[in-house]
Amino acid sequence: MDQATSPADAWERSAEPTDVATDPPAVTDGSRTDVIISLATWDRPSSSVQVNGYVAGLVEDGGTCTLLLKRDGTTATATSSASSDATTTVCDLLQVAGPLDAGTWSATVTYRSATVDEASSTAEVVIP
């Protein structure tokens, strides 16, 4: 008669993995940086435009991110600090509270530090 085994028994008898990652971590050399807007949206509960962004190809602390919103000659700005993560530099939340006119706004994020001064492509934000 076979004896039932529990999942824990099976785990204890499993072999060590033989196929493991051996590639070194990606290293950025700072020669190519791109400011990327990862989210640009109207946040109804806070009545504000909220934008998230990061700098690809750069890992550093101490820079500043600036959001510029434009619509029909009207501009609004927000500034935040930036910090490094494993492979990029991340902007803290950029937020512009109302009153902002309804319609489509253009959003651009600029990142500035001692080593970089770059701007993102434009993203659209629709305010209802």
| Domains of the chain, earliest start first | 27-127 (2.60.40.10)
Strands (DSSP E) along the chain, which ranges? 34-43, 48-56, 64-71, 74-84, 88-91, 94-97, 103-112, 117-119, 123-127
Distance of CA 125 to the CA centre of its chain: 17
Asked if residues 51 and 111 have their Cβ atoms less than 8 Å apart, the reply is: no
Q: Provide the residue count of the chain.
A: 128
Residue 18 binned pLDDT confidence (cut-offs 50, 70, 90): low
Confidence (pTM): 0.75
Distance of alpha carbon 104 from alpha carbon 81, whole angstroms: 26
Asked if residues 50 and 125 have their Cβ atoms less than 8 Å apart, the reply is: no
Would you state the torsion angle of the CA atoms of residues 37, 42, 43, 49, taken in this order, to the nearest 10 degrees? 60
Query: What pLDDT, on the 0 to 100 scale, is given for residue 99?
Result: 87
Determine what percent of the chain is predicted with pLDDT higher than 90: 72
Residue 33 binned pLDDT confidence (cut-offs 50, 70, 90): confident
User: Above 80 in pLDDT, residue 29?
Assistant: no
Asked if residues 80 and 65 have their Cβ atoms less than 8 Å apart, the reply is: yes
**Residue type, position 72, single letter:** D
Determine what percent of the chain is predicted with pLDDT higher than 70: 76
pLDDT digits (tens, 9 = 90+) for 47-85: 999 999 999 999 999 999 999 999 999 999 999 999 999
Query: What pLDDT, on the 0 to 100 scale, is given for residue 25?
Result: 41
Query: What pLDDT, on the 0 to 100 scale, is given for residue 31?
Result: 59
